[in-house]
């Protein structure tokens, strides 16, 4: 595939348009509405055929999860692997491979270009929140906020958390939505929630 070098503004426009052009993450439609947190298993969930080990770091578990292979690649490219191997704690909303596949054609290749490394790092930091936020804690914050909670990310821009039926829903500053598919994967330095859409901060 031929890759075109885009300036920062062009990349920002491409990503901002993703919510219009890409296949949108599927919202749950057959789950009864509830104000309680999703039930999670006492042991760590399986992600893409691999169980995340709670004694390993976020960086190590992401690298070992087949369904998060694209995330592992972009974390290395953005030089953020060391951050997610650090003490934390961090809560990571981890886009699965299907989430990256929903980006508009060519955007993923553009993000991997050296010239766009800073933008890629900002995009990834937008999926990271300081602290240890379980699904139960997120649901409690949403309920306490009258149906909405604002999450401060490492990128600086906020994420908005709501509930769609019983599923935690995240909305970025561009209006794109992403849904938590796998909650509460415990790590030695935090927690991972697997999401089905890539969230985009302000990049202009």
The β-bridge relationship of strands 50-51 and 90-95 is: unpaired
Mean pLDDT of the chain: 84
Higher per-residue pLDDT: 51 or 5: 51
Does residue 30 surpass a pLDDT of 70?
Answer: no
Can you tell me the distance from the alpha carbon of 168 to that of 38, in angstroms, rounded to the nearest whole number? Answer: 8
Q: pLDDT for 115-132, tens place per residue?
A: 999 999 999 999 999 999
| Domains, in order of start, for the chain | 8-23+45-195 (2.30.180.10)
Residues 196, 98: contact at Cβ < 8 Å?
Answer: yes
pTM: 0.84
Average pLDDT for 76-87: 96
Average pLDDT for 148-164: 97
Average pLDDT for 91-114: 92
For residue 107, report the phi and psi dihedrals to the nearest 5 degrees: -65, -40
Can you tell me the distance from the alpha carbon of 189 to that of 67, in angstroms, rounded to the nearest whole number? Answer: 20
Does residue 75 surpass a pLDDT of 60?
Answer: yes
User: Which of 143, 173, 172 minimizes the C-alpha distance to 33?
Assistant: 143
- pLDDT at position 26 is 61
Residues 128, 154: contact at Cβ < 8 Å?
Answer: yes
Q: pLDDT for 158-185, tens place per residue?
A: 999 999 989 999 999 999 999 999 999 9
Contacting residues for 196 by C-beta, under 8 A, at least 6 apart? 25, 26, 95, 96, 98, 99, 178, 179, 181
Residues 72, 92: contact at Cβ < 8 Å?
Answer: no
Q: pLDDT for 41-73, tens place per residue?
A: 456 778 777 888 999 999 999 999 999 999 999
Using pLDDT thresholds of 50, 70 and 90, give the confidence band for residue 147: very high
């Amino acid at each position: 595939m031929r890759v075109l070098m885009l300036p920062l503004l062009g990349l920002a426009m491409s990503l901002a348009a993703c919510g219009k052009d890409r296949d949108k993450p599927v919202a749950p439609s057959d789950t009864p509405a509830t104000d309680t947190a999703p039930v999670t298993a006492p042991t760590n969930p399986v992600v893409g055929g691999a169980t995340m080990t709670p004694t390993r770091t976020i960086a190590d578990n992401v690298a070992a999860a087949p369904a998060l292979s694209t995330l592992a690649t972009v974390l290395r490219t953005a030089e953020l692997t060391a951050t997610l191997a650090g003490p934390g704690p961090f809560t990571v909303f981890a886009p699965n491979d299907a989430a990256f596949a929903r980006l508009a054609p060519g955007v993923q290749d553009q993000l991997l270009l050296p010239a766009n490394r800073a933008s890629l790092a900002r995009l990834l930091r937008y999926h990271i929140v300081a602290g240890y936020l379980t699904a139960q804690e997120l649901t409690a914050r949403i309920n306490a906020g009258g149906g909405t909670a604002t999450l401060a990310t490492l990128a600086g821009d906020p994420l908005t958390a709501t509930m769609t039926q019983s599923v935690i829903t995240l909305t970025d500053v561009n209006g794109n939505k992403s849904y938590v598919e796998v909650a509460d994967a415990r790590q030695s330095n935090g927690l991972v929630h697997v999401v089905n859409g890539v969230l985009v901060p302000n990049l202009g």
